[in-house]
Amino acid sequence: MRPLALAAVLIALASPAVAQNAGQIASARGGASCAGCNLFQADLSRKELRGRSYAGARLRQADLTAVTMPGANFANADLRDVNAFGGLFTGANFSNADLTNATFVGTYLNGARFSGANLTGVNFSGAEMAGASGLTQAQLNRACGDASTQLPRGLSLRPC
């Protein structure tokens, strides 16, 4: 193989694959529901997206900082490594979602549903979630929080 061709192949292999859908991200940023969309690394921070559906969507590594998403549907969604610092998710549905290593620091989650959600490595420090449902101690044993985290009665978190 010629050196120039070899260099081109090596560059192509070393370059990250396009892992997101810019059109779907733009649509979601504009306020559309986007069930099943590929929103990998989408910046939805500070957006007001009430009652939208992201069921089955890929939001891995998305920025949901200070977002307002009451009633949003994230059922079966990939929310691994999401940053939702200071977000408002009143009544949101996280059923069967993968929230591995997500950050929900200072997040409002009252009325949110977590039935079957993977909470491995989730940081709930300062989160208000006393009114959340579908949480089990087994789920929370894989997450962490702090003294200001508000949980449903009878449940606890290890310190982060």
What's the CATH code of the domain at 131? 2.160.20.80
Residue 17 is predicted with a pLDDT of 38
**Residue 42's closest CA among 55, 56, 57?**
57
Residue 5 is predicted with a pLDDT of 44
Residue 19 is predicted with a pLDDT of 58
| Structural domain total, the chain | 1
Residue 72 resides in a domain: yes
Residue 17 resides in a domain: no
Residue 25 resides in a domain: no
- Considering the entire predicted model, what is its pTM? 0.87
Residue 60 resides in a domain: yes
Query: How big is the chain, counted in residues?
Result: 160
Residue 6 is predicted with a pLDDT of 39
Query: Per-residue pLDDT for the chain (160 aa), expressed as one digit of tens each?
Result: 454 443 443 334 333 334 578 888 888 988 889 999 999 999 999 999 999 999 999 999 999 999 999 999 999 999 999 999 999 999 999 999 999 999 999 999 999 999 999 999 999 999 999 999 999 999 999 999 999 999 999 999 999 9
Residue 5 resides in a domain: no
Question: Cα 2 from chain centroid?
Answer: 45
Helix (H, G, I), strand (E, B) or coil at 4: helix
Residue 116 is predicted with a pLDDT of 98
Residue 95 resides in a domain: yes
Residue 14 resides in a domain: no
Structural domain including 127 reads 34-160
Q: Do residues 71 and 48 make contact, with C-beta atoms less than 8 angstroms apart? A: no
For the chain, what is the HEC assignment?
CCHHHHHHHHHHHHCCCCCCCHHHHHHHHCCCCCCCCECCCCECCCCECCCCECCCCECCCCECCCCECCCCECCCCECCCCECCCCECCCCECCCCECCCCECCCCECCCCECCCCECCCCECCCCECCCCECCCHHHHCCCEECCCCECCCCCCCEEC
**Residue 37's closest CA among 71, 64, 77?**
77
Residue 85 resides in a domain: yes
